Amino acid sequence: MTGPGLYPVLASLHGGRIDLLMVAVHGVIVTVFLGWFYLFIFILIRFRRAAHAQPGGARPRPRWLYAFAILLLVVELALDLGFSSPYGVAGVEDKLKQNAVELRVVAQQYAWNVHYPGADGKFGRTDPLLVRNGLNPLGLVRGDEAAKDDIVLLNQMVLPVDRPAVIYLSSKDVIHSLNLPEFRVKQDAIPGMMIPVGFTPTMTTAAFRKLKGDDKRDFEMACAQLCGLAHFNMRGTLTVLSKEAFAAWLADKTPKQEAEEYDEFWD
């Protein structure tokens, strides 16, 4: 299923099922297409003009033909309803119960802002009036007690391996889409909405690099929704660390460091 060239490397718990779904959907679509196509060809030949020169009058109407058409309709309806159930959102509740890492990702033209609640596990208050590209891209109220230890990163997401993660996805301006191909995660970021996305990384960046034979390779965090002129440039990296390394990284990040990184990017 994840052979070379067919799919990206698989690095999440649920990803195998997404890959299977892709194959299943295409299989079903081909079957339904062939069904309708067969019916079309059959009707062309069976009811051709030479055989039925006069319109009206008694015409052969085989029962099986109706049954066949109804069967196709039922299959399609079942697929439409079945595949449109919001699986991704339903999975989030479970993940939160399993001590998930929670983070916010706020998209904007053209960057990903990644917000960790810090040691207290509480996201600090934000105020749109405080938003400044550079020093305070999310408008974090630094005086707020919950905001003091919050970490805000630019185009960089860091997660621990084998632990569920829940991302609360939103956007500051237009519709973007968070795409993590190796994790089979793709979710639109919509202004005015906070959309939770849950998944569990199963491969560290170190293991990924080894697999690819490239010690600079990173998991990509890309925008999958054409969102403006620099859409192509809206990309970052997702680093997956061992649980211990993640804890150490989190403890090490201070608000001051990240402020300097921001200034460089927006200059």
Lay out the site mask for Cu ion across 177-216 (x = CB under 5 A, - = otherwise).
----------------------------------------
101 sits near Cu ion (criterion: CB under 5 A): no
Question: Residue 129 or residue 229: which is nearer to Cu ion going by CB?
Answer: 229
Q: Which amino acid is at 242?
A: S
Dihedral (CA of 100, 199, 191, 150) sign: positive
Judged by CB under 5 A, the number of residues near Cu ion is: 4
Of 169, 223, 238, 241, the one binding Cu ion by CB under 5 A: 223
Of 91, 176, 204, 208, the one binding Cu ion by CB under 5 A: 176
Minimum separation from the CB atom of position 193 to Cu ion (A): 15
Question: Residue 103 or residue 105: which is nearer to Cu ion going by CB?
Answer: 105
* CB proximity list for 74: less than 8 A, separation 6 or greater: none
Helix (H) or strand (E) holding 22: helix 15-46
Alpha-carbon Rg for the chain, nearest whole angstrom, is: 25
227 sits near Cu ion (criterion: CB under 5 A): yes
Minimum separation from the CB atom of position 223 to Cu ion (A): 3
**Phi and psi torsions of 256, nearest 5°:** -65, -45
Q: Which residues of 161-175 are buried (b: 16+ CB within 10 A; e: fewer)?
A: beebbbbbbbbbebe
Minimum separation from the CB atom of position 227 to Cu ion (A): 3
Interface ranges with Cu ion (CB under 5 A):
176, 223, 227, 234
